[in-house]
Amino acid sequence: MSSKARSILNATVVLLALTPAVPVGSARAAECTRDDALGTARVMEVDPATYPRVGLKSFPQTLPLHDREVVLTFDDGPTPGVTDKVLTALGAECVRATFFMVGRNAADHPDMVRKIARLGHTIGYHTWDHPHLNKMPTAQAEANINRGIEAVGMALRGIDSTVPATPFFRFPYFESTPELLDHLEKRGIAVFGADFWASDWVKMTPEEELRLLTGRLEAARKGIILLHDPQMRTAQMLPAFLRYLHEHNYRIVHIVPAGVKTVSDRSR
């Protein structure tokens, strides 16, 4: 076995160990203590070979979601104190999400990285320090991406490797280049855009954010949603948004890499 193949195998084994296994048919009982929780409706395996780039705000293709299905994604963390509130809100409703982490934050808060993985959420990558990659030489941009992967990997597994445990990446500001997109596709890393977002980087109240987000949701009816876990307004808004999803019959889809799906689908 080559050293590259061995690194990929080790990364997959560790990821499987970090993802709680749930017997088929018992996902709700094992994950949730509340019968009235929103819950995670199903788990979707995402193969980068089939979906190398998804998110209609950036690309012509997105994930094959059904009407009223949404994928929750969070960028820029982890940030202790705020990300914790996001995790509490998700946990209260038995919902799993995907966190695209900035490597520098992961290096500063490795316990948070492991906590997110331990709770069953998917971890993706968001560079080392959130630069404008499209304004950098390609080699420098690739180095920044790899440094972010290494930092998250070290926090998560204690392994210094540029092979991601989860082949999911999101460009800061959605600022990609053809060269970087080609580079990531050749590495087997799926690039995630979004179908819509809460604009939570704009100063507003949690109530204003909720109105904005639900309005966009009703227009789109489904999709990959971008939020930011370091934003306190989002952490404060999230419990109400999850209740809104439940009350309006939306369903949560949890994305995982192809081949590591461990939680059985369940219908509500």
DSSP per position, 98-112: EEEE-HHHHHH-HHH
Cis-peptide, bond into residue 23, ω within 30° of zero: no
E-strand ranges in 110-243 read 122-125, 168-169, 190-192, 196-197, 223-228
Which residue, among 190, 200, 184, has the nearest Cα to 257 in the 3D structure? 190
Phi, psi (deg, nearest 5) at residue 112: -70, -40
* Tokens representing residue 82 in the block: 């705020």
Q: Alpha-carbon distance 264 to 268, whole Å?
A: 13
Class of domain 3-19+39-257: alpha beta
pLDDT tens over the chain, length 268 residues = 444 444 433 444 334 334 333 322 223 324 678 889 999 999 999 999 999 999 999 999 999 999 999 999 999 999 999 999 999 999 999 999 999 999 999 999 999 999 999 999 999 999 999 999 999 999 999 999 999 999 999 999 998 899 999 999 999 999 999 999 999 999 999 999 999 999 999 999 999 999 999 999 999 999 999 999 999 999 999 999 999 999 999 999 999 999 864 443 333 3
* Tokens representing residue 260 in the block: 């590591």
Q: CA 69 → CA 45, 121, 168, 186, distances in Å?
A: 15, 17, 20, 29
Helix (H) or strand (E) holding 156, with range, is helix 138-157
Tell me the catalytic residues: 75, 228
Q: Alpha-carbon distance 215 to 223, whole Å?
A: 13
Contact 101, 126 (CB under 8 A): yes
Phi, psi (deg, nearest 5) at residue 251: -125, 140
Domain ranges of the chain: 3-19+39-257
